[in-house]
Amino acid sequence: MNIPFLDLHAQYEFIRDEINPAIQQVIDATAFAGGSFVEQFEHEFAAYCGTRHAVAVNSGTTALWIALAGLGVGPGDEVITVPNTFIATVEAIIFAGATPVFVDVEEGTLNMDPAQLERAITPATRAIMPVHLYGQMANMPAIHRIAEEHGLYVIEDAAQAHGATCNGQRAGTWGHAGCFSFYPGKNLGAYGEGGAVVTNDDGLAARMRVIRDHGQSRKYYHDVIGWNARMDGIQGAVLSTKLRHLDDWNAERNRHAQLYDELLEDVEGILPPVKAAYSGHVYHIYPIRLTERDRLMQFLNQEGIGCGIHYPVPVHLQKAFRNSGYQEGDFPVAELSALQELSLPMYAELSDEQIQRVCEAVRDFAGSQLDARSISRASRG
């Protein structure tokens, strides 16, 4: 049985009769760049998140950058974030002209550690950018309290957290802005690139709408230097169609995670994901941790089971950041997770049989490693 890490075709087959007409409507209307289909999605996504505004853009990376730009974060400012994230988080900070400052993460959730955050604040700190990793929100009550005490902006990187909650409140709504990616593999994925920023700040929303369209307040009248960051009409229609299924898909992901938890509970050497008490998890990723990560990945691939690593090199140790002043050992929890994390197949269309097969393979591997260690100990005795 071959089991892919992600199966977008299975999702397409499920919604084929909805998605094809939706795309055809955009073609018939020739509403390809921005337009009514994007506006409709913005209204729907804002309502889903519980915010007054959603500003659709062409990628999740752009969403992070345009939120920073809209808030006026730039040269001379520091933005605190975490090193165990996709590089887009930090790229956005740098392209805004600001300086990224890293803090380590909690051992359990691998999300931003509020205690580390408070110690990293300096007079130059302007904003905090927590990353809601794997579909679980960071400890936003603590982060929000710290931000308020120091007068800092909070920009949530919610690229992996569509529909996630913290104490019942949706991702993207705790901060001044919440930034989402609609890359195809996300819980809510486009058929190409896409992103959005949600906010309750009327002024911020207005500024971001101007910036994303070459700084135009109206056609050919440019109030500021902006960029071409509009969302395509087809992506708006695709996302509106998929949004109707998001809660059901997230519920399936939670059911799959519960089955994984049960089947892997007593496997020695395997640490399943830790779910915080405050968390409404949406399991964009189902990450396990183990010391023999690379060997297990090779074994699963040989068994026809797809898996991934999120992420093999923390941002501060990437070649692109070799002159940042950070070095190995600065963020031990994030660095250890980079060596141990392995993502198992996770998508709504997974079957129980497929999950059972994945867990059988993990158990077979763990058993063989235990046998090998027993033999090794016996030979030394």
Has residue 107 been placed in a domain?
Answer: no
Contact 182, 41 (CB under 8 A): no
* One domain, residues 219 and 276: no
Q: Is 237 helix (H, G, I), strand (E, B) or coil?
A: helix
Angle of the 352-380 helix axis to the 293-302 helix axis, nearest 10: 130
pLDDT of 106 higher than 50: yes
Same domain for 144 and 177, yes or no, is yes
Nearest alpha carbon to residue 157 among 96, 81, 212: 81
Do 73 and 162 belong together in one domain?
yes
121 and 234 co-located in one domain: yes
When pLDDT is averaged across residues 147-162 and rounded to a whole number, the result is 98
Residue 292 within any structural domain of the chain: yes
Q: Work out the average pLDDT over 265-274.
A: 95
CB 4 within 8 A of CB 345: yes
- Rounded-to-integer distance, Cα 305 and Cα 362, Å: 10
Q: Are 241 and 22 in contact (CB under 8 A)?
A: yes
What domain count does the chain have?
Answer: 2
Q: Tell whether 272 and 208 lie within a shared domain.
A: no
Q: Are 57 and 197 contacting, i.e. CB atoms less than 8 angstroms apart?
A: yes
* Across 18-40, average pLDDT: 97
Per-residue pLDDT for 244 more than 80? yes
Residues 230 and 255 in one domain: no
pLDDT tens by residue, 55-98: 999 999 999 999 999 999 999 999 999 999 999 999 999 999 99
| pLDDT on residue 124 | 98
Give the Å distances, CA to CA, from 35 to 184, 219, 239, 273, 329: 21, 14, 14, 41, 49
Q: In this structure, are 227 and 287 located in the same domain?
A: no
**Same domain assignment for residues 228 and 263:** no
Last residue within a domain, chosen from 192, 224, 243: 243
- The mean pLDDT value of the chain amounts to 96
* CATH number of the structural domain spanning residue 168: 3.40.640.10
The structure tokens 């679980």 sit at 136
Contact 46, 96 (CB under 8 A): no
**Residues 267 and 343 grouped into a single domain:** yes
Q: What is the amino acid identity at position 238?
A: V
Q: Which of 94, 31, 59, 97 is nearest to 197 (CA)?
A: 59
Is residue 235 within 8 Å of 181, Cβ to Cβ?
Answer: no
Kindly state whether residue 1 falls inside one of the protein's structural domains: no
Single pTM value for the model: 0.95
| pLDDT band at residue 378 using 50, 70 and 90 as cut-offs | very low
% pLDDT > 90, the chain:
95
Which of 353, 257, 253 lies closest to 305, judged by CA? Answer: 353
Domain termination site, one of 184, 213, 243: 243
Residues 66 and 143 in one domain: yes
Q: Same structural domain for residues 214 and 260? A: no
Q: Is 134 left (phi over 0), alpha (psi -120 to 50) or beta?
A: left
Asked if 287 and 298 count as a contact pair (C-beta separation under 8 A), the reply is no
* pLDDT band of 10, cuts 50, 70, 90: very high
Q: How confident is the model at residue 371 (pLDDT cuts 50, 70, 90)?
A: low
pLDDT band at 372 (very low <50, low <70, confident <90, very high): very low
pLDDT at 376: 35
Of 243, 263, 283, the residue at which a domain comes to its end is 243
Strands (E), the chain: 53-57, 78-81, 99-102, 125-128, 153-157, 165-166, 169-170, 177-181, 195-199, 216-218, 221-222, 279-280, 286-289, 341-344
pLDDT at 109 over 80: yes
One DSSP character per residue, 113-148 reads -HHHHHHH--TTEEEE--B-GGG----HHHHHHHHH
pLDDT grade for 375, boundaries at 50, 70 and 90: very low
| CA angle, residues 51, 55, 57, in degrees to nearest 5 | 145
Cβ neighbors of 217 (< 8 A, separation 6 or more) are 210, 223
Q: Which residues pair with 93 in a beta bridge?
A: none
- Whether 311 has a pLDDT exceeding 70, the answer reads yes
For residue 2, is it within any domain? Answer: no
pLDDT of residue 1: 84
- Are 179 and 185 in contact, with CB atoms under 8 Å apart? no
Whichever domain contains 261, its CATH number is 3.90.1150.10
Residues in the chain: 381
- Specify the 3-state DSSP secondary structure of 85: coil
**What pLDDT was estimated at residue 373?**
45
Regarding whether 152 and 209 lie in a shared domain, the answer is yes
Range of the domain at 284: 246-380
Average pLDDT on 3-12 reads: 98
Query: What pLDDT score was predicted for residue 368?
Result: 79
In a domain, 327, yes or no: yes
Give tens-digit pLDDT for 343-369.
Answer: 999 999 999 999 999 999 999 999 876
Identify whether 3 is part of a domain: no
